[in-house]
Structures are given as C-alpha cells and as structure tokens.
Chains A and B, each alone.
Chain A
C-alpha cells in the first residue's frame, strides 16, 4: 500500500495566477498520475509522471498549462498555470505499482481548486 499526502487541500485563486500542488508518497513508486475531477464528473487523467523523464500528457492537456515535476521517486508537483474559472476542479494525485499484476491505485485526498 501507499500513503499519499497532497497539499494544499483546497485553495481559492485569482484568474491568471498559477497554483502548484504537491504530492508526497511514503514509499518509492515508479509511476505517479495526476487526475482532474470536475464537479459531478469522473476522473480524467491529465498526465503520467515518471521519475527522470518528461511527463506524458493525455489528449487535451499540455505541458505549458499543466507543467509537472518529478524530482525523485516519492514526490511530484502539478502546476495549474494561468488559471481561469474553467480550471476549478479537484486535482488528485495517484500512484500504482505497475510491477505488481492487478494492483490498485492509491490516491491523495485531493486539492479542491476554485478560480475566481
């Protein structure tokens, strides 16, 4: 299992500014994932962050808008840049041990972002 600490838990930000979300895991993991959960909707994968390489972004998400850092095997950050009200959402960090068949995902408690 993995315990994930995500900060901040919530924030209210002005449009045009940027917010960096931190994700700390209590064990070393190869792959970390960043999801967005918009109100009343399911999780949408933003990108996959591997240590030592560039993050892999899903269709509709770009590095300039959502830059990701992965400096080591226990930590990652997601920045939401030049925010607009449409970015208001819950952002979730997740890890999976892909080396174990059928392993489940573990999630942080999420960051509830409101852009005004």
Chain B
C-alpha cells in the first residue's frame, strides 16, 4: 500500500447512535486491510482484518467493516455505539507480498451520553 487516508479526524456521536469511520487506501497491488483501536494510554489492538473472501468483515465489540475494491475503501461501522467505544481508531494496509504496514492518521471517536 502506498497510502491510507482516514477522512475524518474526529467523529462525535451520541450513545446508541450508529457510526461509520471512513478509510480509503491507494495501492497498485492487492492489500490486506486492518482496523485497530487505541484506548487512552494504551497501545493499539486489532478490531478486525480483511485478507480475502467475503467483503464484509466482523470484528470484536460489534464492529464490522466492508471492503470495496472499486472504491478502494474499508469503512468501519457499528450500529449502536457505547460510551466505552470512545477511542482513537486507525485504519492500516499491508501489501500482500509486502513488508510494511501503512497506518492512516487516525479518527478520534467521541461518544457522548
């Protein structure tokens, strides 16, 4: 992957509302795609990943993401967010034959009561 773009730096949303965090990538080759979450004062942990097969990927904590090859997107969604989902979310891509993971700039999800 040559770049990963997260279109929103911050997303405020009310509790129990749906949310979508957007991610686009650019690459001349096939990629693996990942979403990571970083809670305050912690390292990153994997939410979900797309390697191949079904374009809809389900992850932990009720999150899912859809790979759209024609739009080179991998948007993250959750139908109903909780206060505890407040965190920084990073989209990442890795070339299938590659060596390096490229991270997006991150989206800060802020869930309000």
Q: Which residues of A contact B (CB under 8 A)?
A: 4, 6, 9, 41-43, 45, 92, 94, 96, 98, 101-102, 104-105, 107-110, 112
B49 touches A102 (CB 8 A): yes
A110 touches B43 (CB 8 A): yes
| Residue from A4, A6, A101 with most neighbouring chain B CB atoms (10 Å) | A101
- In the bound complex, residues from chain A placing their C-beta under 8 Å from that of B99 are 98
Q: Which residues of B contact A (CB under 8 A)?
A: 32, 34, 36, 41-46, 49, 51, 90, 92, 94, 96, 99-101, 103-106
Select which of B43, B49, B94, B105 is within 8 A of A108 by beta carbon.
B43
Q: Would A101 and B51 be within 8 Å (CB), given that A42-B90, A107-B45, A110-B43 are in contact?
A: yes
- In the bound complex, residues from chain A placing their C-beta under 8 Å from that of B43 are 4, 6, 92, 94, 107-110
Select which of B32, B44, B101 is within 8 A of A92 by beta carbon.
B44
Q: Would A43 and B32 be within 8 Å (CB), given that A92-B44, A110-B42 are in contact?
A: no
What is the predominant secondary structure among interface residues of chain A facing chain B?
Answer: loop
B90 touches A43 (CB 8 A): yes
- In the bound complex, residues from chain B placing their C-beta under 8 Å from that of A6 are 43
A33 to chain B, nearest CB (A): 8
B3 to chain A, nearest CB (A): 11
